[in-house]
Structure 1
Amino acid sequence: MTTPHPANSGLNVDINPAAAVHRHALLRPDHVILRYDGGDLTYAELDDRAARLATVLAETGVGRGDRVAYLGLNSPSFLLTMLAAFRLGAIFVPVNFRLAGPELNSVLARSGAITLVCEQGHLAAADTAREGTALERLLLVDDDPAIPAEGDAPDGWDLWADLVAKASPSTALAARGFDDPAILMFTSGTTGLPKGVLLTHGNIWWNSVNVDTMIDTRRGDVTHAVAPIFHVGALNSFLMRTLVRGGTIVLRRSFDPARTLADFVEHGVNSTFMVPAMFAALARVPGAFEADLGQLRSIVVAGAPVPPSLIQQYADHGIILQQAWGLTETAPFATHLPAELTLAKLGSAGIAMPHTEVRVVDVQTNTPLEAGASGEIVVRGPNVTPGYWENPEATRAAFDDEGWFHSGDIGYLDEDGYLYIVDRLKDMIISGGENVYPAEVERALADLPGLIDVAVVGVPDIEWGEKVVAVVSLAPGAALTLEELRVHAEAKLARYKLPRALRIVTSVPRNASGKLDKLAIRAIAGQGE
């Protein structure tokens, strides 16, 4: 038997998304890849502008391995910056646009980014946070009608439109392999300073293979992107695949439920990723379930605990939400529940993706647990990050000796191998010596009439050690007492898990990724204690 030459093994194949966009620009230049309020873009236009921006970046020394950051909402400039960085073999750093002060400075400084592209609305925050960073070039987006620039560029900043227009398209198109770094994505930081998760081109590629294998995605699909794309769930679920496979992206800067519903109908959307709170808001739009959503076949809900009542509500109207589970570190999906099993396994986050291993282990001994026993969920596979950026201590803490990534999520596998998420290990409440998982309580309350959103946390208590507190927002005109809340939940929960206090707020704090902001929620829950 002849040993294959390494060049024929597939390991040297170029998987750079920028190369795929360039290929589409040559083959189908007039195909609209991006629909956006500020103007649509064809593949030829997207590729040409990314090539010109690559020239601008290269003029200030951006090359392989350098970091290029972007601060702003969903927009074409986000994608252009990412593609231009990929063309040069640089690492793209999408920044959470809700960060401010020390957190923003920490991300910019710790990433080592030498170039920052920024939208007008975030200019003041970026200007304040750039001190002590390695930033050498600051570009202000000034050609997006959705965010018009205001006057001349401040000191130290360059308006990018004229620079990009005058630059010659770069011929650089760095070949990228499986181990080459692609994206440096910082975690949300709601419980401390964000950690930098390094995702390789291979992580992104293998997640795409998993998605294409499990979910009904097709070449030419129309995908809707409204969840913040600085988050891996929104970026790497359908958007990145659509860029590579030749579909169309309907990109919205922020979420408006009525507009989202109209988009689904008008553009014949086939796929979308949203967090549970978005689907709950969409369901409250008048006529939502009477609209023609016949083209919508690939719908993933993830990014936060998913109430089974929400999935049942959509299923009752013939719309199947497919639950998935993962983290930034898994790029993002580790498990997925096939559409045909949504009701049979209601509440499950699904089975392991085809090229990913998932198991549940004892928190103390790290040994696998039997079916039905709750423990920490661990993941291993080519979609899992190689580690945290310049943080070997955090990397060592997250991976065991066999290469399993420890997620910090608590869950269990049923006898068929389907995963059920219980909660975050660090969010567990110990009340009267009993373990209470907030997500379980939140699910029990999710279908309470008049409830819009709910978060459950523990606060210190002299008698119980910690007591369970529910923080809720209600529909206009709705009212709720603690006793009514407890009565609703007691049919599903043991009494020690029932909330002992209730806080009603206008809106339950969530971060830009749709996850509960537990720091802010605990502050609300502790008021009056």
Structure 2
Amino acid sequence: MRRFGDSQWSYFREFLDVAGRRSDEPALVDASQRLTYGDLVREVERRSATLREVGLRHGDRVALVADNSVNYILTAFAIWLADGVLVTIYPSTSAADLRATLADADPVLALGDDGTRELVAGAAPDGVATASIDGDFRPPPIAAEASNGPTGLSDALHMICYSSGTTSRPKAIMLSARSLYNGARTYADVWGLGVDDVTVVCLPMAWLYGLNTSAMSTLLGGGVVVALRRSKPEMLAEAIQAHRVTFFPAVTTVLTKFTRFVSGDERRWDLSSLRLIVSGGEPRNEQAFEQLRQLTGIPVHDTYCASELFPLITYDPRRDPEPRPGAAGRLVPRSNLRIVDEHGSEVKDGETGEALTNGPGLMLGYWNDPELTAVSMTDDGWYKTKDLVRRDVDGYVYVVGRLSDMIIRGGSNISPAEIEAVLRRHPDVLDVAVVGRPDPMYGEEVVSVIQPAPGASATSEDLKTFAASQLSGFKVPTAFARVSHLPQNSTTHKVSRAAVKSMLEKGEITC
């Protein structure tokens, strides 16, 4: 395999050292394949050579639209090894959105798997070659010429990661190899990932949480990655038991569904191999997490960051075997955090403000959107997260909510996440989404949309009384609704407040 001399290839240099020491040890597993580290290196080298043979040149963009698999990781590494730029797009993207995204990315090659190949072929711009990453991996010759990328970047472009685009068109986040290496290295170090770890990756690999935070960090530590195409609870339980999984990273919704399944299933699943469970991407569900603790014997830790700057906040389980209630963790090495008020002045410990971040994991900007890049950064190079947080005197960081989600009632700012955290503690609440609805007197009213737990009997008045016992009066929901299932983002599986709000506006949910 090619030996990298440039510092931007630190991940691969270290990975090759790991692979050399563990050549005959397992590295990647999915439903149809099991590869050792030696197999992984050889197949990445073969795919990389194939890409160069069909005409891939330095800096050419290659779009990857596929579900999680061993072949996903092999292909991503091969694109990088061939000096290409990986463009990750969620496989659940609609045909219309995929056409627009591929036109925006302007790749010379668009790759799917056997399940998405026809979708990709139908959406690819004229002249762009398409192929499947499954099977023998023999893409056709590349005929298209990609347009030049942006100039003046602080580092070489290595990856474009398209967001899930829940409320607007997807943002295309540009990343360097340096940022990807820093993410994998930091997570491996802070979480103590090593040769004895087996990580189940059910998070989409089109998302950095799946590809970098979970998979690449595990491989850098010399562990095993078990790739799942879906986050279905039964598939997760089977994988954890069969492969003796030690590390389970997910979002709250997935962990909640998993807990509910395992608790109610007549089979007795063996979860004793787990040593670390990490939740990220959305607020905690303390009721479900306590139940999961009873099933596994370990707590659920947290991680918090943005794809634009990662990693940022998480727990070192050796330093903090017990997460501090309500906190996402502490600042990781090499990343920086400022918490500022609306005037840009730093607030004191314990006070709430917007999180600004920078460090080696900082994005290069947004692809084809210099205006958005400019408004997302401060003049001195800090990324504006638009998240409200506070930090205590011990350095623990608490995520209060999104600026864009804030409900303004009678001039007061109300965080939906704070109210949701309280209501999830009620035994009759399986999950909840809190949103604002126009109110002629106070501007907005606080609406709580509940997904009841099985056998729930609590009335709206009961829930209101429960919330009032723990919240200031102006934060207590004034209206309640019930749904059988809360809408989720189809790619990340997080509860979508935007979809809930839209359903209320359309009368699809009534209070």
**For this structure pair, what is the TM-score category when the shorter chain's length is used for normalisation?**
0.7 to 0.9
Deviation for aligned residue 1:435 = 1.3
Q: Which of 326, 336, 341 is 1:347 aligned to?
A: 326
Deviation for aligned residue 1:482 = 2.4
Q: In the alignment, which residue of structure 1 is the partner of 2:138?
A: 163
Cα distance in 2 between the residues matched to 1:26 and 1:481: 61
**What is the TM-score of this pair, normalised by structure 1?**
0.84
Deviation for aligned residue 1:240 = 0.3
Cα distance in 2 between the residues matched to 1:373 and 1:102: 44
Q: In the alignment, which residue of structure 2 is the partner of 1:525?
A: 504
Q: In the alignment, which residue of structure 1 is the partner of 2:242?
A: 266
Cα distance in 2 between the residues matched to 1:57 and 1:300: 36
- Aligned ranges 1:363-374 → 2 under 5 Å: 363=342, 365-374=343-352
Structure 2 residue runs of 5 or longer lacking an equivalent are 141-153
Structure 1 residues 440 and 379: alpha-carbon distance in aligned structure 2, compared to 1, 3 A threshold: same
Cα distance in 2 between the residues matched to 1:220 and 1:461: 56
Cα distance in 2 between the residues matched to 1:481 and 1:273: 35
Deviation for aligned residue 1:57 = 2.5
Contact (CA 8 Å) 2:354, 2:385: kept in 1 or not? yes
Q: Which of 130, 134, 159 is 1:138 aligned to?
A: 130
Deviation for aligned residue 1:125 = 3.9
- Aligned ranges 1:288-307 → 2 under 5 Å: 292-307=270-285
Q: In the alignment, which residue of structure 1 is the partner of 2:87?
A: 93
Q: Helix, strand or coil: the match of 1:285?
A: helix
Q: In the alignment, which residue of structure 2 is the partner of 1:323?
A: 302
Q: In the alignment, which residue of structure 2 is the partner of 1:506?
A: 484
Contact (CA 8 Å) 1:398, 1:406: kept in 2 or not? yes
**What is the TM-score of this pair, normalised by structure 2?**
0.87
Deviation for aligned residue 1:272 = 2.4
Cα distance in 1 between the residues matched to 2:405 and 2:56: 41
Q: In the alignment, which residue of structure 1 is the partner of 2:194?
A: 218
Q: In the alignment, which residue of structure 1 is the partner of 2:148?
A: none
Cα distance in 2 between the residues matched to 1:519 and 1:247: 38
Q: Helix, strand or coil: the match of 2:435?
A: strand
Cα distance in 2 between the residues matched to 1:376 and 1:214: 25
- Aligned ranges 1:416-495 → 2 under 5 Å: 416-479=394-457, 481-495=459-473
Contact (CA 8 Å) 1:49, 1:164: kept in 2 or not? no
CA deviation string 1:114-139 (max 9, x = no partner): 21111343345434433xx4762100
Q: In the alignment, which residue of structure 1 is the partner of 2:31?
A: 37
Q: Which of 257, 269, 276 is 1:281 aligned to?
A: 257
Deviation for aligned residue 1:325 = 0.7
Q: Helix, strand or coil: the match of 2:116?
A: helix
Contact (CA 8 Å) 1:115, 1:135: kept in 2 or not? no
Deviation for aligned residue 1:420 = 0.5
| Further displaced range: 435-444 or 337-346 | 337-346
Aligned residues: 487
Q: In the alignment, which residue of structure 2 is the partner of 1:78?
A: 72
Structure 1 residues 316 and 371: alpha-carbon distance in aligned structure 2, compared to 1, 3 A threshold: farther
Q: In the alignment, which residue of structure 1 is the partner of 2:57?
A: 63
Deviation for aligned residue 1:49 = 2.9
Q: Helix, strand or coil: the match of 1:416?
A: coil
Structure 1 residues 37 and 63: alpha-carbon distance in aligned structure 2, compared to 1, 3 A threshold: same
Structure 1 residues 48 and 135: alpha-carbon distance in aligned structure 2, compared to 1, 3 A threshold: farther
- Aligned ranges 1:11-22 → 2 under 5 Å: 12-13=6-7, 15=9, 17=11
Alignment root-mean-square deviation, CA: 2.8
Structure 1 residues 452 and 129: alpha-carbon distance in aligned structure 2, compared to 1, 3 A threshold: farther
Cα distance in 1 between the residues matched to 2:291 and 2:481: 26
Q: Which of 388, 399, 409 is 1:410 aligned to?
A: 388
Counting aligned pairs with the same residue, the percent is 29
Structure 1 residues 212 and 56: alpha-carbon distance in aligned structure 2, compared to 1, 3 A threshold: closer
Deviation for aligned residue 1:312 = 4.2
Contact (CA 8 Å) 2:33, 2:70: kept in 1 or not? no
CA deviation string 1:143-162 (max 9, x = no partner): 3xxxxxxxxxxxxxxxxx36
